[in-house]
Every structure is written in structure tokens, then in C-alpha cells.
Structure 1
């Protein structure tokens, strides 16, 4: 049995989700990254995720230890890529992936991405598109380990980001 459980986030999870995102913001800063150092994501973004049904949490021993936004809508920034996506059809977009540092448990990012793949397949969508900062070694490692292919660069809030896609069938 998988030790991690992924489920749709509920409004009551908002406080814990925000704690985890703040921990991720602090970690990125400590690692010398500029990712998430510009006021994004913020509490309004988390509220919007929950209102739209995008938010998912990962639990371990009934404690929320991770968060991700799984988006079944078009991501406008993905329409303009310096490079080429593997596919042009429907896809699931992944944003705001964060894992808790209290406790820090190895494998949360991988568990989240495997959960995203399962959710996509269960919804009949066989492509996942995702991006991350150039210096986010943890996520770059997860994408590589799980077979995501580098497709080029996309731009968010004035910054270039590495874009990846994985086809699920």
C-alpha cells in the first residue's frame, strides 16, 4: 500500500496548505532561488485554487504534508513555448507543488506527481504539462526520475521557466 494518500483539498485545509506553501517559499529563499520570492503564491491564490476545485493535498499518517494545484483548464502561458510540446491535445497542468518541512518526508514530490498522473488517467487525460524554475533541483530531479521530457521554456510573471511534458499512454 502507498504510504501517501492524495485527495481533493477542502476549505478546512486552507490554513495547513498556506503553512506548507510558506515553508516552501522559505526553503526556496534559503536555497538561493528567486522562485516564489515575489509575493506569489499567496493566500488569495490558495483560496482561488480551493474555490475552483484545483487544490489537492497529500497526507501521511493522516497529516497533510503536501499540496498541489491540478488544473484541467488551458494554461495560457503554455500556448507560447520557446520549444515544442510533445502533444497538442488535452492536458493536465500542475502548479504550486509544495511539500511540508515540518516534518520533511522524503518522496513527497514524487508521490504528488504519481498521484497527478493517476488523477489525469482517471479523468481520461493522458498528458501532463508542468514547469519549474531553472534552479529547482528537487523538482527537476522528480521530473527526470518519472520520465518527464524537457520541451522548452515558458514565461510566467516575467521569468523563464523550464517546461516539461509526460504522455501517459
Structure 2
């Protein structure tokens, strides 16, 4: 199958929100506190799309995955308890979710590869991310993809594990 990674449009909002609702439910079923506080939500996804930060992975006309990608736009990362690997420009990604109909097909890895390609296209060699301590699925994905644990950052009153990957040119 050939998947396409592209900027999301408002027409993509209904399937994106369905994917995120399923992911929120999976996090809860896994016993995770992540995404159990009203975030993410449709308003946030609309904001991602409005600032050209929302991206979808599609299979034909079907949205199979979603993420937000930003450049140098994560204020919480300035206050890390720990040390980033680099101090320059960085790409950060949030809200990675795969449709429940596409789980187990390696699409999280595919999205991370697309995010890294986005960084390279923008001449940036650092990709940063964070996740909850109780999200073993994402922790495993980050580890397999070569991300290095750098410390803790804080969002909405809770601590999150912060990771960075330095890309080769």
C-alpha cells in the first residue's frame, strides 16, 4: 500500500477526531492518564490545521493517522528538567494517533519517518517529542525509532518524558 502524508484540511476534521477519540479510549483502557483531561479536542485540531501544523497519513481517501508538527514552537521545552541533545532549531510533534482500523501495520513508525523527512526538508536536524510515563506503546515506538530520553517537561500540571533524535543530513 502506498500511504500519502500531507497537510490536513478542515474536511479531514471528522475522521481525525474519530481517530483521536478511539486513541483516547485506548489510552484509558491501557490505564494511562494521558489524554484523559479533555485534550486533545476538536478545537485544538482546528488550530493545528489553521496554522498548517496538522498532518494526516492517508490510504487512498481514508485518513489512517494524524499528528501535529511544529517548528521551534513548544514553550514547555525551554524548562526541561534534564538536558536536550541540541540547542538549535527543532521540530516537535504532538497528538500522534493511528486509526483503530490500521493498528499493527507500522504506521506510527511511518509517521515518525515522515516527521523526520519534514525536519530534513526544513534543514533541521533535531526532532523532539514527549509522552506520559504510562504510555508504553509510544515509549516503545520512540525507543525503536532511536529517540533518546533527555529528561522531564511539564504540561497542564503534569510531568512528561522528553525525547530527542538528532538526524543525519
Please give the TM-score of this superposition, normalised by the length of structure 2. Answer: 0.95
Q: 1:3 to 1:141 in 2, by over 3 A?
A: farther
CA distance in 2 between counterparts of 1:91 and 1:103 reads: 29
SS for the counterpart of 2:100 is: coil
Residue 16 of structure 1 corresponds to: 15
TM-score (norm 1): 0.95
Cα-Cα RMSD: 1.2
Which aligned segments of 4 or more residues in structure 1 are displaced greater than 3 angstroms?
none
Aligned to 1:35: 34
Match of 2:49?
50
* 1:96 aligned onto 2:95: yes
Superposed CA offset, 1:38-69 (max 9, x none) = 00111110010000100000112442110000
Distance 2:6 2:147 in 1: 23
SS at match of 1:102: helix
1:131 counterpart residue number = 130
Structure 2 portions without partners, runs of 5+: none
* Count of residue pairs brought into register by the alignment: 168
Trace 1:65-76 onto structure 2 (pairs within 5 A).
65-76=64-75
Matched, 1:142 2:158: no
Residue aligned with 1:143, SS: helix
How far the C-alpha of 1:102 sits from its partner, in A, is 2.8
